[in-house]
Chain A
Amino acid sequence: MKKLLLKSSLMIFFITLSLTILYFIPVNSPNYLASTIEKHNLLRKTLPPRIIFIGGSNIAFGLDSEMIQKKLHYPVINIGLYGHLGLKFMLNEVKPYIKAKDILVIIPEYEQFFGSLCDGKRDTLMLMLDVNPPSIKYFTLNQIIRTIPTLFNYKRRTLVYLIKGSVPFDPIYCRNAFNKNGDVIIHLRDWYQIDDAVAKKLKNKINPDKFKNIKELKYIKFQKQELTDTLEKLDFNREEIDLISSASIIRQRMGLPNLIAEKLNTHTIFLLNKFKLYARKRQAKVFFIYPNYSLREYKINKKQIISLKKELEENLLIEIIGSPENYVFPDNYFFDTNYHLMEEGRKIRTDKVIEDLKKVIN
Chain B
Amino acid sequence: MSFNSLQYLVFLPLTVLIFHRLSNKYKPYFLLIVSYLFYLCTHILSPFILLFTTIGGYFFAIKISETISEKDKKSLLFTGILLNIIILLSCREIFKSLIPAIGVSFFTFQNISYLIDCYLGIIQPERNFLYYALYLSFFPKLIQGPIERASNLIPQLKHMKNTICEYETLRGGVQLFFWGMFKKIFIADNIAPVITSILNDINGTSGPVLLIITYLYAIQIYCDFSGYTDMSLGSARLFGINLTNNFNYPYFSPSTQDFWRRWHITLSGWILDYIFKPLSMKGRNYGNYGVITALIITFVICGIWHGLTLNYICWGLYHGILISLSFLTYKKWEKFCKKYKINQGIIYIINVFITFNLVCFSWLFFMTKTLSDVWLILSKNITTLLNFLAIHSFDTGISTCFIIVIAIFFFIEVLQAKFNIKAYFERQNVFIRWAGYYIMIMVIILWGNYGSKETLEFMYFRF
Residue numbers of A with Cβ under 8 A of B are 1, 3-4, 8, 11, 14-15, 18-19, 22, 149-150, 152-153, 156, 159-160, 162-166, 200, 203-204
Q: Is the CB of A163 within 8 A of B438?
A: no
Expressed in whole angstroms, the minimum distance between the Cβ of B365 and any Cβ of chain A is 27
Known: A8-B174, A163-B190. A15 touches B441 (CB 8 A): yes
CA distance A149 to B451 in the complex (A): 9
Q: Is the CB of B438 within 8 A of A159?
A: no
Q: Is the CB of B397 within 8 A of A162?
A: no
CA distance A149 to B449 in the complex (A): 15
A-B contact count (CB 8 A): 61
CA distance A303 to B399 in the complex (A): 52
**Closest chain A residue, CB of each to CB of B399:** A165
**Closest chain A residue, CB of each to CB of B400:** A165
Contacting residue for A163 out of B171, B434, B441, B447, CB 8 A: B447
Expressed in whole angstroms, the minimum distance between the Cβ of A165 and any Cβ of chain B is 3
CA distance A157 to B437 in the complex (A): 23
Q: Is the CB of B447 within 8 A of A159?
A: yes
CA distance A152 to B446 in the complex (A): 8
Interface residues of B in 391-407 (CB under 8 A from A): 395, 397-402, 405
Q: Is the CB of B445 within 8 A of A162?
A: no
CA distance A347 to B190 in the complex (A): 46
Q: Is the CB of B449 within 8 A of A160?
A: yes
> DSSP majority for the B interface?
helix
Q: Is the CB of B446 within 8 A of A156?
A: yes
**Closest chain B residue, CB of each to CB of A204:** B204
Contacting residue for B442 out of A4, A15, A165, A166, CB 8 A: A15
Digitize B169-188: 1 where CB-to-A-CB distance is under 8 Å, 0 elsewhere.
01100100000000000000
Report how many residues on chain B are interfacial, defined by Cβ distance under 8 Å: 27
CA distance A159 to B401 in the complex (A): 12
Chain A residues within an 8 Å CB radius of B397? 164-165
**Closest chain B residue, CB of each to CB of A12:** B441
Expressed in whole angstroms, the minimum distance between the Cβ of A48 and any Cβ of chain B is 43
Expressed in whole angstroms, the minimum distance between the Cβ of B144 and any Cβ of chain A is 25
Contacting residue for B167 out of A3, A160, A162, CB 8 A: A3
Chain A residues within an 8 Å CB radius of B402? 162-165
Q: Is the CB of A14 within 8 A of B438?
A: yes
CA distance A159 to B449 in the complex (A): 11
Q: Is B20 an interface residue (CB 8 A)?
A: yes
Chain A residues within an 8 Å CB radius of B446? 22, 152, 156, 159
Chain A residues within an 8 Å CB radius of B398? 163-165
Expressed in whole angstroms, the minimum distance between the Cβ of A298 and any Cβ of chain B is 35
CA distance A4 to B13 in the complex (A): 11
Q: Is B49 an interface residue (CB 8 A)?
A: no
Q: Is B165 an interface residue (CB 8 A)?
A: yes
Instruction: Identify 20 new A-B residue pairs, CB closer than 8 A, beyond the known A156-B445, A164-B402, A165-B402.
Output: A1-B20, A1-B167, A4-B171, A11-B437, A11-B438, A15-B438, A15-B442, A18-B442, A150-B451, A156-B446, A160-B447, A162-B401, A163-B402, A163-B405, A164-B398, A165-B395, A165-B397, A165-B399, A166-B399, A200-B204
